[in-house]
Amino acid sequence: MGHGPNGRLQGGRGGGRLSDVKWSFRIARVLGIEVRLHLTFLMLLAFYAWKGWAASGQMAGALLGILLPGTIFGCVLLHEFGHVLMARHFGIRTRDVTLLPIGGVARLESTGETPRQELAIALAGPAVNLVIAAVAGVFVLVSRIPTTPIDPVTGAGSFATWLIASNLFLLGFNLIPAFPMDGGRVLRALLTMRRDRVWATRVAAGIGQALAIALALAGMLALHQPMLLFIALFVWMGASQEAEAVSTSAHLDGVPVRKAMMTEFRSVSPFDTLGDVSQLVLAGFQHDFPVVSADELVGLLLRDDLFPALRERGPDTVVGDVMRRSFAVATPDEPVERMLRRSQFEDGPSSIPVLEGGRLVGLVTAENVGEYVMLSAALTGRRR
């Protein structure tokens, strides 16, 4: 598998949070989508440059060592934009695309609202690799150039043939019917057409975990390739996270916010001091506080803002100077899934005030949603 680039989707469906890919930075903006590069990707390029230089003893070898994996990741980026454009066709937004040493991640608002949408979005990425391989194949036939793939050390051979082989590998690897590869989503979409999504996810995730075990055993016992252990861990974690996210989604399906929100909570005034609020935190109240003035919600004070402000401004600073004035709100009858998806895709705070007729009636936090899911799972298990 080499350095193992592949395409992945990350969707915000149900309780799964679109968490930031840390240690990454923006390198471009394409079609309104932010393209990011993980710092470890630069380390990978440096390794291949050193490997090419050590093998050839020339700077040309180092440049070739960067060109080949860089080209593969260019194909991975196009693969991800295949997912992005198909998702956009269905009205699904994309937050960003990040290139990692193990491939690419497109962070979509959803992987599809129906099985047919998920199937189309999942297949769009591999379809791009097929098109690249086909175009390169036509070039090879028309130009009648040598069909020997390029040698990473000497540079001899056909770059186009190497491009064909690389994209066919990406196509085949991504169509393995197991999470977290695209083939796992294809399998789930097909199975969901016959039964429920949770069962379909468990099947695809189970295949992914079996694949991870097989890769780990092959890496340790047969091929003696440490990289396979890394890939196995990646596959196992991706399959497990997908199964957990869909299980959570099942327990939140059709549940209105009023069933999961906190109704006993503390609010603060914009004229309270940060010292006063810190005492509420120490007394065991919630971490984030709605800010209310004259029975109207005017802000939200987050713990992530409280502690830095205490350190930099002091305890006598008033809440109104630190609170956030722009944040997501919910209504009691809004589905929890829709509220979470909207807030998480926009990277909103984990605490969401609930308003009914303009009046603050509840507060939704990640903790109490998690507790609701655990209680629902426990009650479901008891009924069975």
Beta strands 33-38 and 24-30: pairing type? antiparallel
CA distance 141 to 302: 62
Q: In what order do the strands lie in the sheet with 7-11?
A: 7-11, 103-108, 94-100, 33-38, 24-30
Put simply, whether the predicted model's pTM sits higher than 0.85 gets the answer no
User: In this structure, are residues 79 and 129 in contact, taking their beta carbons and an 8 Å threshold?
Assistant: yes
User: In this structure, are residues 323 and 315 in contact, taking their beta carbons and an 8 Å threshold?
Assistant: no
Eight-class DSSP state of 5: -
Beta strands 103-108 and 352-356: pairing type? unpaired
User: Coil, strand or helix: which one is 218?
Assistant: helix
CA distance 122 to 181: 9
Longest distance between any two alpha carbons in the chain, whole Å? 79
User: Coil, strand or helix: which one is 321?
Assistant: helix
Q: How far is residue 147 from each of residues 162, 171, 172, 210, measured CA to CA in Å?
A: 9, 20, 21, 36
Each residue's pLDDT tens digit, 285-342: 688 899 999 889 999 999 889 999 999 999 999 999 999 988 888 999 988 878 877 7
Average per-residue pLDDT in the chain?
80
Residues of the chain within CATH 3.10.580.10 domain(s) are 257-383
Helix axes 197-217, 182-192, angle to 10 degrees: 150
CA distance 384 to 382: 5
Residues in the chain: 384
End-to-end CA distance of the chain: 44
Question: Which alpha helices (H) appear in the chain, and where do they start and end?
Answer: 39-56, 59-89, 115-143, 159-174, 182-192, 197-217, 226-252, 257-260, 274-282, 303-313, 336-345, 366-383
- Looking up tokens 């440490």 gives 226
**Tokens (6 digits) for 362:** 């509840």
User: In this structure, are residues 121 and 86 in contact, taking their beta carbons and an 8 Å threshold?
Assistant: yes
User: In this structure, are residues 216 and 232 in contact, taking their beta carbons and an 8 Å threshold?
Assistant: yes
Q: Which positions of the chain have pLDDT values less than 50?
A: 1-8, 12-20, 382-384
Beta strands 33-38 and 94-100: pairing type? parallel
Q: How many CB atoms lie within 10 A of CB 136?
A: 21
**Tokens (6 digits) for 210:** 């079996």
CA distance 323 to 317: 11
CATH number for the domain whose boundaries are 257-383: 3.10.580.10
What pLDDT is recorded for position 345?
A: 66
What is the four-CA torsion angle of 355, 360, 366, 370, rounded to 10 degrees?
Answer: -90
User: In this structure, are residues 190 and 220 in contact, taking their beta carbons and an 8 Å threshold?
Assistant: no
Please list, in sequence order, all residues whose beta carbon lies within 8 angstroms of the beta carbon of residue 359, skipping any fewer than 6 positions away: 295
To which H or E segment does residue 364 belong? Answer: strand 359-364
**Tokens (6 digits) for 140:** 């090879």
**Tokens (6 digits) for 34:** 């932010």
CA distance 327 to 344: 12
Q: What are phi and psi of 230, to 5 degrees?
A: -65, -45
What pLDDT is recorded for position 43?
A: 74
